[in-house]
Amino acid sequence: MYRKGLYRILENEPLTASVWRMRLAGDTQWITAPGQFVNIAIDGLYLRRPISVCDCDAQTLTLVYKVVGEGTARMSRMAPGTELDLLTGLGNGFSTGVATQRPLLVGGGVGVPPLYNLARRLLAEGKPVQVVLGFNTAAEVFYEEEFRALGCDVTVATADGSRGVEGFVTTAIARCGLDFDYFFACGPLPMLRALSEATAQPGQLSFEERMGCGFGGCMGCSCKTKYGSKRICKEGPVLAKEEVVW
């Protein structure tokens, strides 16, 4: 289920040169799974902007977003106290109801945030959580400490080697010999594809697409899967590895 509501900005602060964290207060009951997203109305822009939920509790939700265009640039200039019109509870999110004892979470760049709440849930289910975070360079790294503070085993990879393992997330998984029986991933398309090809294990992958509405009304964000077309906003953004058509 999804709903429209007003949310008040509590904090809005930069984590890196281009990645920001916004905490909002409001009704979070419609957010039921990690990896779901909200769709934000921004004054002066026509379409809402979809942003994944990084974390939420009974009264607040946390969004970690990268400034990539006009919408996110405007978000980064919003002051605490501002009220935002959000659609919440959008998308299917990650399913933790899968048979896994040793899950691996793999995030690339701004694909990292939705894994945070997922890590919390898996840990609460008593599972040890390994996390691989991939970035271009050390200056772009964020949430490494936050995952570690939860109790996750964290490996960082940077493309230029300025922090952690030099290379991509797939390099880090191979080099560190990570032992896992299932994976959850969110990140750029080339990363998702490389990861899917490099792993024998099953998993879930969260995809991005340009959206019109965010709730299945416009068919703007459809993709083809082995089981027919799916809307990234509605039957996605999370797809099972085995159904993805690359």
Alpha-helix runs per DSSP H in 107-168: 114-124, 144-150
**166 vs 209, which CB is nearer to another protein?**
209
Piece of the chain touching another protein by CB under 8 A; list 45-53, 57-65, 121-129, 158-166? 45-53
Residue type, 13: E
**Residue 194 host element (H or E):** helix 189-198
CA 157 – CA 165 distance, rounded (Å) = 4
Q: How many residues interact with another protein (rule CB under 8 A)?
A: 29
Which residues lie across from 40 on neighbouring strands?
49, 86
CA 135 – CA 17 distance, rounded (Å) = 13
Please enumerate, as own/partner, the contacts of 121-126 that have beta carbons within 8 Å and a separation of 24 or more. Answer: 121/34, 121/96, 122/96, 123/150, 123/151, 123/152, 125/96
Q: Which residue from 75, 110, 112, 211 is in contact with another protein, where contact means CB under 8 A? A: 211
C-beta of 27: minimal distance to another protein in Å? 15
- 174 Cβ partners below 8 Å, 6+ apart? 198
Q: Which of residues 13-42 bind another protein (CB under 8 A)?
A: 41
CA 148 – CA 123 distance, rounded (Å) = 12
Q: Which residue from 47, 98, 159, 178 is in contact with another protein, where contact means CB under 8 A? A: 47
Instruction: Decide: is 218 part of the binding site for another protein (CB under 8 A).
Output: yes
Instruction: Decide: is 245 part of the binding site for another protein (CB under 8 A).
Output: no
Instruction: Decide: is 87 part of the binding site for another protein (CB under 8 A).
Output: yes
C-beta of 230: minimal distance to another protein in Å? 11
Name the token pair of 126: 């008593």
Instruction: Decide: is 226 part of the binding site for another protein (CB under 8 A).
Output: no
C-beta of 72: minimal distance to another protein in Å? 12
C-beta of 17: minimal distance to another protein in Å? 17
Instruction: Decide: is 188 part of the binding site for another protein (CB under 8 A).
Output: no
Q: Please report, as ranges, the residues that interact with another protein according to CB under 8 A.
A: 1-4, 41, 45-48, 70-71, 87, 209-213, 215-224, 229, 234
